[in-house]
């Protein structure tokens, strides 16, 4: 059990407990890729994820798949929005 708990903590960064911790961790990962893998597309994807950390579900759906919003509204019974 303790080994599993230790595995959850990022190296040198402490445990992730808040959305601020998530954005800080993403910033560190983005920085790593910029310095060590400058041709990687990962920073582009992680910047998008970082922007969505505090977003609600519908905002995320709108961002990732704008056409999917109508389907989500239909399924949830909110098709009048």
Q: Is residue 45 in a domain?
A: yes
Please write the tens of the pLDDT for every residue from 39-63.
Answer: 999 999 999 999 999 999 999 999 9
Number of structural domains the chain divides into = 1
Q: Is residue 33 in a domain?
A: yes
State if pTM tops 0.75.
Answer: no
Q: Is residue 81 in a domain?
A: no
Are 42 and 32 in contact, with CB atoms under 8 Å apart?
Answer: no
Q: Which domain holds residue 61?
A: 2-76
Give CA 68 to chain center in angstroms: 19
Q: Is residue 70 in a domain?
A: yes
Residue 12 confidence (pLDDT): 58
| Gyration radius of the chain's alpha carbons | 17
Instruction: Compute how many other C-beta atoms are within 10 angstroms of the C-beta atom of residue 8.
Output: 8
């Amino acid at each position: 059990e303790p080994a599993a708990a230790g595995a959850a903590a990022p190296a040198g960064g402490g445990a992730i407990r808040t959305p601020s911790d998530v954005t800080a961790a993403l910033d560190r990962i983005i920085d790593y890729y910029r310095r060590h893998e400058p041709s990687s597309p990962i920073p582009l994807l992680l910047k998008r994820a970082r922007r969505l950390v505090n977003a609600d579900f519908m905002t995320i759906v709108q961002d990732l798949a704008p056409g999917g919003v109508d389907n989500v509204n239909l399924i949830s019974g909110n098709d009048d929005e």
